[in-house]
Chains A and B, each alone.
Chain A
Amino acid sequence: MAEHETHEFDVIVIGAGGAGLRAAIEAQAQGARTAIICKSLLGKAHTVMAEGGVAAALGTVYSEDNWEVHFRDTMRGGKMLNNWRMARIHAQEAPERVLELEDWGALFDRTEEGRILQRDFGGHRYARLAHVGDRTGLEMIRILQQKAVAMDIDVFMETTIVRLLKDGDRIAGAFGYRRESGKFVEFKSPAVVLATGGVGKAYKVTSNSWEYTGDGHALGLWAGADLIDMEFVQFHPTGMVWPPSVMGILVTEGVRGDGGILRNGSDERFMFGYIPEMFRAETADDEEEADRWYTDRKGARRPPDLLPRDEVARAIVAEIKEGRGTPHGGVYLDIASRRDPEYITRRLPGMYHQFKELADVDITKEPMEVGPTCHYMMGGLKVDAETAAATVDGLFAAGEVAGGMHGANRLGGNSLSDLLVFGCRAGRGAADYARAVDVRPEASANQTEEVAREALEPFERTDGENPYLLQQRLQDKMQALVGIIRVEDELKKGLDALGELKQRAGRVTAEGNRLYNPGWHLALDLRSLLATSEAIALAALERKESRGAQTREDFPQTDPELGKINIVLRMKNGEPYVDRSPLEPLPQDLRSVVERSL
């Protein structure tokens, strides 16, 4: 193979969203020679799309809040399937990470006393989300990006990693190409942090960016790492449903936190009919109490509109299925009749403009039409809670690509805090690991040659498959067969379809040359999309129960036995293999925290 560019580092971080940037900042601060490698330009990562806020028990609005309550809410929201060690670290360290962000210059909305303002979100007992209007993710990325620039961390923008390199059982680096030139590049590094985000572009209706193709999940899987919880794909209850071209774009949960309510096509506040046993004691059961809660947090219980996302999404699907949807097949989200226009445009400026420009709807005058949209991947690499180390030596994972933190369902706001807490820990874990390495690992030349040859194959075919049409078909199949409501027969059909698509993806064509060629980029991304989609379908088939984001029509009940295990995916003889591993039991002191009624 022709010469390719090579670089040596102690730690490389793949992905420049919140987790990747935070990991790189920490690794560099720990003295490791660190590089960030990202597919897009710096600052364009998916994190910018996060709207509502970052969850941390700062207690600025409700002094009753503390890490134990945050931990309790997170575990209950995750249907007790969370890695409790991660959930505990997360709840304990989130406040420090948020204050650190403020220290680095982040803008936050403020209370009248000038403290960081916190807003209400689903599943959180107290107003807990530190935020900037509805552009919290954008501000977070900008601050982290600026910190990385100030620290002079090496950044390889628009560089896509296609394979992790190994020396025996250890990680030895990563191999990829530069989008601009199409030329290959090798990074030699004993420690690699995956911070690649999720896989939302496997679905047709999604709030996720075009770059969300499950790269890190697939890179980890191919490198021999274990993935857990892959069956848990979060469908956010409120995405736009009209017009079709904007279907799926996120409508922040902050709309409901700030007073918005859900109604069906017959104008009924249907959420009162969907309060599950687990949340009954803390949820208002009539409209009067629910409305009173906004001004009387102590005397009234929370409205059911603010139940965790899995509950709300399922309720919306049920209403639409029963024929009580809106004209465009959603439900109404109404804040217009409940808050004055000045309040709405001040608290939710992004939503106001989004609906005005994209749907010609004035949300201060009319209700929005919304429906579930693919939003977040709970599953990912199995990691050690303390160090974020994956199950392959030298590999670390943080953020959406890591599994365990959120269990079967993530609470809103817990993603941005997860990125900060575990991004920081992964950076430190990777730097510590790299420092302790005696002999630097060395990947064999034939590994890179093989990867390079495979990567160029799409150019050699003249009459192969169109990568865009394959991606569309994948999205259609995943949406229809491995979507919100699942059943064995459909999951099996989904796996058959994925098998066929894998064959066809092996015959995909890239037209033209290697210079900034998005058709070729997708041809390569398709492989990770397919590998990650297959892991989702296999895990969904294996978990024969309904829990959190996994809703099985054929197994509608929760099975206590399955509450004790994670479904695990790993490669075996070149094929994905489904296994189970027991969850570490929750210690008694933490169990009593979780069972506390508040």
Chain B
Amino acid sequence: MSVRIRILRFDPSQDERPWWGAYEADVEPTERVLDALHYVKWYRDSSLALRRSCAHGICGSDAMIINGVNLLACKVMIRDLEQPIVIEPIRGLPVIRDLVVDMEPFFAGYKEVKPWLIVDEDEKEPPRERIQSQEDRERYDDTTKCILCAACTTSCPIYWADGKYVGPAAIVNAHRFIFDSRDRGGRERLEILSGKGGAFKCRTAFNCTDACPRGIKVTLAIQEVKRAALYDSV
């Protein structure tokens, strides 16, 4: 079937401002938005820029705004969308070209929360098996599902407005360690997240939770981090 698509295009080397490109793509209803974008690239305009890699929702490269909502293009079917399908780059990060945004600020927020296991110095011995109960493991299972696609962070109105806020994804990745029974860096991270750009910026709009393609309860994770910071307990 023929599908109408509008894509917000922008090439900073030649365009003064973004413009809407209108295309028709010949794809099946059970195909995904990524297939339609491929169609446009292959047969209509090969200069269209977008990121994609695994093409089924694990690598997290192709988050974009599709009909007003942050989605992964490889996970949403054509038949589930109204036409014309309107596609824009995710918001809050500088556009490099078309649907490709600069992810550096996003990764900077991620790095800020020290997303790695912090252990006591005397624990640093040759690798040995550590015991973790099924309950302790379950405690942080949800936030380990993150694929760093930035769909949550770039759906957050606070993030759009406040360049200092680390954003939901960074907090999700901090949560993953704060609530890991093996980690000893909880206090350090909570201190960072109690600061100006931290978790208390969140106004629980729930956009992030709606946007997460992995179904992570992002807002809940942020609330748990806030609570831990307030009561100094994990």
User: Which A residues are closer than 8 A to B by beta carbons?
Assistant: 40-46, 48-49, 58, 60, 96, 99-100, 102-105, 107-110, 112-116, 132, 135, 138-139, 142, 146-147, 149-150, 180, 209-211, 243-246, 249, 350, 353-354, 357-358, 466-469, 472, 510-513, 515-519
Q: How many A-B residue pairs lie within 8 Å, measured between CB atoms?
A: 166
B58: Cβ under 8 A from any A Cβ: yes
Which residue in A115, A210, A244, A353 is a CB contact (below 8 Å) of B55?
Answer: A210
B-chain residues with CB within 8 Å of residue A41 when the two chains form the complex = 51, 61, 103
Closest to B146 in A: A142
CB of B131 within 8 A of CB of A115, answer yes
Which residue in B12, B58, B133, B140 is a CB contact (below 8 Å) of A107?
Answer: B140
Which residue in B14, B47, B59 is a CB contact (below 8 Å) of A44?
Answer: B59
Closest to A246 in B: B56
A-chain residues with CB within 8 Å of residue B183 when the two chains form the complex = 105
A469 smallest CB distance to B (angstroms): 7
CB of A245 within 8 A of CB of B32, answer yes
Q: A246-B56, A517-B47 are in contact. Are A115 and B129 (CB under 8 A)?
A: yes
B6: Cβ under 8 A from any A Cβ: no
Known contacts A114-B131, A135-B58, A142-B144, then 10 further A-B pairs from the complex at CB < 8 Å, ordered by chain A residue:
A41-B61, A48-B54, A103-B117, A103-B130, A105-B182, A107-B140, A138-B145, A244-B30, A245-B35, A468-B41
Which residue in B48, B56, B117, B134 is a CB contact (below 8 Å) of A104?
Answer: B117
CB of A104 within 8 A of CB of B96, answer no
Complex CA gap A352/B131 in Å reads 29
CB of A354 within 8 A of CB of B56, answer yes
B-chain residues with CB within 8 Å of residue A100 when the two chains form the complex = 127
CB of A518 within 8 A of CB of B129, answer no
Tell me the B114-158 residues at the A interface (CB within 8 Å): 114-117, 127-134, 136-137, 140-141, 144-148
B164: Cβ under 8 A from any A Cβ: no
CB of B13 within 8 A of CB of A513, answer yes
Complex CA gap A582/B47 in Å reads 48
CB of A43 within 8 A of CB of B47, answer no
Tell me the B90-112 residues at the A interface (CB within 8 Å): 96-98, 100, 102-103, 107, 111
Closest to A117 in B: B134
Complex CA gap A517/B98 in Å reads 10
B228: Cβ under 8 A from any A Cβ: no
B-chain residues with CB within 8 Å of residue A139 when the two chains form the complex = 144
CB of A105 within 8 A of CB of B177, answer yes
CB of A209 within 8 A of CB of B130, answer no
B-chain residues with CB within 8 Å of residue A353 when the two chains form the complex = 215
User: Which B residues are closer than 8 A to A by beta carbons?
Assistant: 11-14, 27-28, 30-32, 35, 38, 41-42, 45-61, 75, 77, 96-98, 100, 102-103, 107, 111, 114-117, 127-134, 136-137, 140-141, 144-148, 177, 180, 182-183, 215
Which residue in B55, B128, B180, B215 is a CB contact (below 8 Å) of A105?
Answer: B180
B-chain residues with CB within 8 Å of residue A210 when the two chains form the complex = 52-55
CB of B46 within 8 A of CB of A511, answer yes
B-chain residues with CB within 8 Å of residue A40 when the two chains form the complex = 51, 53, 59, 61
Complex CA gap A227/B98 in Å reads 39
Complex CA gap A116/B137 in Å reads 11
Closest to B129 in A: A99
CB of A516 within 8 A of CB of B96, answer yes
Closest to A147 in B: B116
Complex CA gap A103/B127 in Å reads 6
CB of B97 within 8 A of CB of A516, answer yes
Closest to B181 in A: A114
B123 smallest CB distance to A (angstroms): 9
B221 smallest CB distance to A (angstroms): 15
CB of A113 within 8 A of CB of B46, answer no
CB of B13 within 8 A of CB of A519, answer no
CB of A245 within 8 A of CB of B31, answer yes
B40 smallest CB distance to A (angstroms): 11
A-chain residues with CB within 8 Å of residue B130 when the two chains form the complex = 102-103
A476 smallest CB distance to B (angstroms): 14
A-chain residues with CB within 8 Å of residue B141 when the two chains form the complex = 107
Which residue in A49, A105, A110 is a CB contact (below 8 Å) of B59?
Answer: A49
Q: A149-B111, A515-B13 are in contact. Are A49 and B97 (CB under 8 A)?
A: no
Complex CA gap A579/B131 in Å reads 51
B-chain residues with CB within 8 Å of residue A113 when the two chains form the complex = 131
CB of B147 within 8 A of CB of A512, answer no
CB of A468 within 8 A of CB of B134, answer no
B-chain residues with CB within 8 Å of residue A44 when the two chains form the complex = 53-54, 59-61
CB of B129 within 8 A of CB of A102, answer yes
Offer 29 A-B interface pairs, CB within 8 angstroms, sorted by A: A40-B51, A42-B107, A44-B59, A44-B61, A46-B54, A49-B54, A49-B58, A96-B127, A100-B127, A105-B117, A105-B182, A107-B180, A110-B132, A114-B131, A139-B144, A146-B115, A146-B116, A146-B117, A209-B53, A209-B59, A245-B32, A350-B58, A357-B57, A358-B32, A472-B42, A512-B46, A518-B48, A519-B46, A519-B47
